[in-house]
Amino acid sequence: MRRDSRQFLVLVLVIAAAVALSGCGKKRVAEPVAQPMDTQALRGDDLPLTDRDETIYVEPGAGVFENIHFEFDKYRIRSEDEPILQRIARWLKENESIRVLIEGHCDERGTNEYNMALGEQRALAARRYLVGLGVSSDRLVTISYGEERPLDRASNEDAWARNRRAQFSVSQ
Amino acid sequence: MAGALRRALGAAAFMALTLVAATQAAAPEVHLSITKGFGEKVTIAVPLFRGTAGAAAPADMRSVLSSDLRYSGYFNVVENLAFVDDVEADDRRTGRVQFREWLALGAEVLVRGDVAVRGEDLVLEAQVFDLGAGRSIFSRRYASQPAQWRATVHELADDIVRHLTGERGIARTKIAFVSNVTGTKEIYVMDYDGENGRRLTKDGLAALYPSWFGDNSAVAYTRFRNSGQEGVAIDVRTGVVRRLTSFPGLNAFISVSPKGNELAMTLSRDGNPEIYRLRSDGSEPRRLTYGSSTESSPCWSPDGRRLAFVSDRSGSPQIYVMSAAGGSEERLTYQGSYNTSPSWSPKGDLIAYTARVEGVYQICTVDVDTKKVVQLTTGAGNKEDPSWAPDGRHIVYSVRSKGKTDLYVLDIHDLTQVRLTSGAGDHESPAWLH
């Protein structure tokens, strides 16, 4: 653990230096939602997960928490889904007591085992993006269901595209 | 294994003939008048067992023994049962083994069984002959509860394999797997031939990725609980579940070390899927891999000194190995763009894995030293999640075909496939008990 925290500290310092040098630091503080930092470049190690607790998560009301989708075998956030994440980030800033469970899902085509890891990467990618927009990382927890919970059980391109998703639940 | 053998046999077995005891003491005890080249099979005659044994029909016992011997990969069984039973009748009538008649049937080895119920016990007395040399290879008396007759026949099959090849048989091993037959994925255990299947978990939530503890008493797996994953272990006899891990994020792909005192698994607690090593109770997680890519699906080498795993650091999932202490990482697979689910062979030389070949998942092996890849399966139907038998010769895996998933076993020497499961539901994610 000591080794972990040291590495983490080094990474934080490196990123802080990079941000300061590039001059984005001020801009981000002034207008975080409109001009996010490059969250896709953020390393997973920068954002350890918060310990589990007994929070119960429920399906959110319609409107803000739309699913976001992914290319086959990929976990990069697509540019067309960025407005959804920006809307979620804004909503979370107005509702500071709410925590979010981000579920990562895959289509049936990868191997069952690897899809479980890929689903987690999708949830983590959404989490990193929201943190980049200023949402506190300890409000965002992740779970992967791999290919266990498809929205559409059909075996065609449309169904696969719908199933490759990150889906959001909110704390009660 | 020797301990388990003695326990299973009970006291009765130690009253066996002195001759047998003497034979068993000598090692290695490979008896055969015929020398076989690699891959050549021994032809064995299995006449109907004599006697009656209540629930255990002699014809069923013969049938189980014959299929065990074929399954082992070392034997052909003489198929013309009418001829076999005629010669057996001659043996009984004359009181001597008619070696020349057996040889004329093409048989090289004969196994003869007498069954009876004595008191509470089913007693099987077996004699195995080297027909070419005209002598006994071994004889042994097995006692068990009548309901356990399958296990008794499996034990005889393992003894035949051991005496004739020097290799350890697998007829009494078990396979854990996942089935959704109840509508939810739960862990089940069955015999190595698909018989005696029984449900182990009753979580009512998906139970995934079973892995045996080294002492065979428990199966570790991943389940969903309280908006998260948990790594748990279920006691095979009592059904008692104990929690191993409940970290935030992934708690998946538990692989129990060969000694059973440690786990390797994938956690994402530090913000990225990485390989960790933990004590067998899930405590003291120690991170082994670092990077922004996905590191997943660890699997111990049989000597416990290395781990195979999957990483997408090259841009696609590939098989790697590293020291079990972390470091010395080395990529093994370079063919194709999707190689996952490594399983390290008990002999240590090969790693079986799932490879996407022309859009279909197939089972391959890669040689750990030379990195030579061999594709073992072909044809339609996605094959996933290979798991080695303790003999290093058989691999169990799942095949998805016509909307249904079932388990198959492959003999990597002659590439014969045997289907293990059928009926309602999908059967997947097998783990062979070592």
Render pLDDT for B120-145 as a digit per residue (tens, 0 to 9): 899 999 999 999 999 999 999 999 99
Q: Which amino acid is at A116?
A: M
Task: Please state, rounded to an integer, the average pLDDT across all residues of chain B.
Answer: 90
Q: Which of A46, A112, A113 sits opposite B271 (nearest CB)?
A: A46
The total of other beta-carbon atoms located within 10 Å of residue A71's CB is 10
Instruction: Provide the residue count of chain B.
Output: 434
Give the per-residue pLDDT at A85: 98
Q: Which of B209, B246, B292 sits opposite A43 (nearest CB)?
A: B292
Please report residues of A whose CB lies closer than 8 A to that of B247.
49, 52
pLDDT reading at A31 higher than 60: no
Between A and B, how many residue pairs show a Cβ–Cβ distance under 8 A?
122
Q: Is B271 in contact with A141 (Cβ distance < 8 A)?
A: no
Q: Across residues A18-30, what is the average pLDDT?
A: 41
pLDDT reading at A33 higher than 70: no
Q: Is B429 in contact with A120 (Cβ distance < 8 A)?
A: no
Q: Across residues B170-182, what is the average pLDDT?
A: 97
Please report residues of B whose CB lies closer than 8 A to that of A114.
296-297, 310, 317, 338, 340-341
Q: Which of B206, B248, B361 sits opposite A50 (nearest CB)?
A: B248
Render pLDDT for B44-68 as a digit per residue (tens, 0 to 9): 999 999 998 777 788 999 999 999 9
**Comparing A145-159, B22-36, B315-329, B367-381, which segment has the lowest mean pLDDT?**
B22-36
Residue B156's closest CA among B108, B124, B119, B202? B124
Using left for φ > 0, alpha for ψ between -120 and 50, and beta otherwise, residue B419 falls in beta
Predicted-complex ipTM score: 0.86
Give the per-residue pLDDT at B305: 98
Distances from the Cα of A140 to the Cα of B11, B263, B310, angstroms: 61, 28, 27
Rounded to an integer, what distance in angstroms lies between the CA atom of residue B108 and that of residue B31?
12
Q: Is A113 in contact with B250 (Cβ distance < 8 A)?
A: no
- The residue with tokens 């990382």 is A137
Give the per-residue pLDDT at B304: 97
- The residue with tokens 């690897």 is A114
Please report residues of A whose CB lies closer than 8 A to that of B252.
116-117, 144
For residue A94, the distance in angstroms to the closest alpha carbon of chain B comes to 24
What pTM did the predictor assign? Answer: 0.86
Q: Is B268 in contact with A110 (Cβ distance < 8 A)?
A: no
Mutation choice for B interface testing from A76, A111, A137 by most B CBs within 10 A: A111
Mutation choice for A interface testing from B209, B267, B294 by most A CBs within 10 A: B294
Q: Across residues B359-382, what is the average pLDDT?
A: 97
**Comparing A149-163, B30-44, B85-99, B234-248, which segment has the lowest mean pLDDT?**
B30-44
Give the per-residue pLDDT at A17: 46
Q: Which amino acid is at B232?
A: V
Q: Across residues B253-257, what is the average pLDDT?
A: 97
Please report residues of A whose CB lies closer than 8 A to that of B226.
52, 54
Q: Is B248 in contact with A55 (Cβ distance < 8 A)?
A: no
Rounded to an integer, what distance in angstroms lies between the CA atom of residue A84 and that of residue A90?
10
pLDDT reading at B30 higher than 80: no
Q: Are B428 and B384 in contact (CB under 8 A)?
A: yes
Please report residues of B whose CB lies closer than 8 A to that of A45.
270-272, 290, 292
Q: Which helix (H) or strand (E) holds A12?
A: helix A2-22
Render pLDDT for B66-101 as a digit per residue (tens, 0 to 9): 999 999 999 999 999 999 999 999 999 999 999 999
3-class SS of residue B244: strand
Q: Are A127 and A40 in contact (CB under 8 A)?
A: no
Percent of chain B surpassing pLDDT 90: 83
Which contacts (CB < 8 Å, 24+ apart) does range B396-400 have? B396/B175, B396/B420, B396/B430, B396/B432, B397/B354, B397/B363, B397/B430, B398/B427, B398/B428, B398/B429, B398/B430
Q: Across residues A70-86, what is the average pLDDT?
A: 96
Q: What share of chain A is helix, strand, coil (3-state, %, to 5)?
A: 45, 15, 40
| Chain A residues in contact with chain B using a Cβ-Cβ cutoff of 8 Å | 3-4, 7, 43-52, 54-57, 73, 101, 110-114, 116-118, 120-121, 124, 128, 141-145, 148, 169
Distances from the Cα of B347 to the Cα of A48, B165, B281, B394, angstroms: 38, 16, 27, 12
Mutation choice for B interface testing from A6, A47, A49 by most B CBs within 10 A: A49
Rounded to an integer, what distance in angstroms lies between the CA atom of residue A24 and that of residue A2?
31
For residue B361, the distance in angstroms to the closest alpha carbon of chain A comes to 8
For residue B240, the distance in angstroms to the closest alpha carbon of chain A comes to 23
Q: Is A57 in contact with B361 (Cβ distance < 8 A)?
A: no
Please report residues of A whose CB lies closer than 8 A to that of B297.
113-114, 117
Pick the more confident residue, B17 or A132: A132
Rounded to an integer, what distance in angstroms lies between the CA atom of residue A47 and that of residue A120?
14
In DSSP notation, B170-209 reads -TT-EEEEEE-TTSS-EEEEEETTS-S-EE----SS-EEE
The nearest alpha carbon in chain B to A112 belongs to B384
Give the per-residue pLDDT at A20: 43
For residue B327, name the pLDDT band (cuts at 50, 70, 90): very high
Sign of CA dihedral A20, A22, A27, A31: negative
Please report residues of A whose CB lies closer than 8 A to that of B290.
7, 45
pLDDT reading at B34 higher than 80: no
Rounded to an integer, what distance in angstroms lies between the CA atom of residue A8 and that of residue B270?
9
Give the per-residue pLDDT at B12: 29
Rounded to an integer, what distance in angstroms lies between the CA atom of residue B347 and that of residue B46?
31
Decide: residue A29, CB within 10 A, 0-12 exposed, 13-18 middle, 19+ buried: exposed
